[in-house]
Chains A and B, each alone.
Chain A
Amino acid sequence: MIDVRALVVSYGAATALEHVTLSVGKGEMVALLGPNGAGKSTLANTLAGLLKPASGTVEVGGRLALIPEGRQLFPDLSVEDNLMLGGWRSGERDPSFVYELLPRLAEIRRRRAGVLSGGEQQMVAFGRALMSRPSVLVVDELSLGLAPNVVTDLAEHLAALNRSQGLTVLLIEQNARLAFDLCGRAYVLESSRIVAEGDCAELAEDPKVAGAYLGGAIT
């Protein structure tokens, strides 16, 4: 569903991604780990078609939706308007299926998105992405700035969608424990390059990965 080969993305003279190769199969949940500035969001934006590669290829099978880092809602619009605009590509205007999945959104649908809590905003961003009826979902920092119980709740929704609908997911995270719990495989992106890849269980045993992302060892 996602096939990235030798991808190079540059901002002027600065190279943000250097020969990145990565793949996510249909119905698979794959994690992409990496520190700040590694190029994770650049990859997300390139997959979403917002950035043009300098070289290399990006192939996405089906409609891709991005939940961007920092939620990136329309703060002046209501929750319902945010959701409806999520259906801009698909033509979906009825958010009732999102309300069934995330009932909290139905309760706050008339409220302005800008005044919601971080968890509620992330839920809106999640629902807005689903409005495009995606077959591939790229989630950029699901857990950033959220309380653990909120993250757990959203992670469960994500896993359920993956199981029930075969949604393909690329989870871009700094929270390696969350990523390893949810995903089968993972890539590690550092300084614009993929430096490690493999099964999450194997990566968790890798001393370098465990030291950098799991505080020493997985428990």
Chain B
Amino acid sequence: MSAFLTYLLNGLAVGCAIALIASGLVVIHRVTGVVNFAQGTFAVVAGLCMSSLLGLGLPHGASEVAAVLAATVAGLLTGLAAIGKPGVTPLSSLIVTLGVGVLAYAVEIVLWGDQPRSAPGLAGSVTVAGARIQTQYLLVIAVTALTFVALALFFGRTYLGKALTACASNPYAARVVGIDVRRMGLLAFALGGLLGGIAGVLVTPMRPISFDTDVTLIVNAFAAAVFGALTRPVVTLAGALVLGVAETMAAGYGYGSHQLEIALGLMIVVMIVQASRRTAISQEST
């Protein structure tokens, strides 16, 4: 039972990290309509920056903040490349983000090499109901919870957040009232970079990061974001937690080499059930 609880808590932490990256995908897609395939890159940039800065002797806290800022700048630059030119379609922008991801590989290899890097996180562990969980994993869960609350407050209560929602809701109307939709899109990309960066600095102490780790990160995050229809952050969080727990359980019970396939398979089953329920409800209402 304690092993199950350990896997569950660890899985929730892994799911939270996925949720942070997925929430960046959702924010960018909601505002711009673009699926940003460079989202995993932001986490990698933050993780690699943090490991370098800590290696240079910068203290914890400052290193993490600087790394997240670097990821935010990476997000903004990706936004400039993807939607900077007026009139670019979301599909073209998607291709640009793929290109940015590939370009980022080259830059990362030049700057950090091709070997995985790690960084120390919070040391120690705590015991919860007989289950042992590393303090870093609890930190990931706490930061994710705070981030999602902050996002909900930002989009639900602030004028700027509502303007971003307005751009997603009706870009033409947003322009009619004078909102610069392109600038809001760039802000969304920067926010996506920030969220990816937070994920990166939290994940790096849990698992080594290399230039191509973005593939694993984006596959999981994309599955969670699609689960939330690329627009609903809370459903995305739920999807990410299911993925994280499924992966960790699979690894814990001896199926480590197939954990990703098992988790994604489970996600597909959940989505099919979800879609069939929606179809049934819509048929009943007509």
Binding site for B on A (CB under 8 A): 48, 50, 66, 68, 72-77, 81, 84-86, 88-89, 93, 128, 132
A72 touches B173 (CB 8 A): yes
- Give chain A residues whose Cβ lies under 8 Å from the Cβ of B169: 74-77
Inter-chain CA distance A33–B107, complex, in Å, is 59
- Give chain A residues whose Cβ lies under 8 Å from the Cβ of B163: 85, 88
Inter-chain CA distance A218–B170, complex, in Å, is 39
| Interface of A: prevailing SS | loop
- Give chain A residues whose Cβ lies under 8 Å from the Cβ of B170: 72-75
Report the number of A-B residue pairs with Cβ-Cβ less than 8 Å. 50
A72 touches B172 (CB 8 A): yes
A74 touches B165 (CB 8 A): yes
**How far is the CB of B232 from the nearest CB of chain A, in Å?**
11
Inter-chain CA distance A146–B159, complex, in Å, is 31
Binding site for A on B (CB under 8 A): 159, 162-163, 165-166, 168-170, 172-179
Known: A74-B166, A81-B162, A85-B163. 7 other contacts (CB 8 A): A72-B173, A73-B170, A73-B173, A77-B166, A86-B177, A88-B177, A89-B177
Inter-chain CA distance A88–B178, complex, in Å, is 6
A85 touches B177 (CB 8 A): yes
**How far is the CB of B151 from the nearest CB of chain A, in Å?**
16
- Give chain B residues whose Cβ lies under 8 Å from the Cβ of A93: 159
**How far is the CB of A50 from the nearest CB of chain B, in Å?**
6
- Give chain B residues whose Cβ lies under 8 Å from the Cβ of A75: 169-170
- Give chain B residues whose Cβ lies under 8 Å from the Cβ of A88: 163, 177-179
Contact of A84 among B159, B165, B173 (CB under 8 A): B159
- Give chain B residues whose Cβ lies under 8 Å from the Cβ of A132: 177-178
Contact of B178 among A72, A74, A84, A89 (CB under 8 A): A89
The residue on B at minimum CB distance from A72 is B173
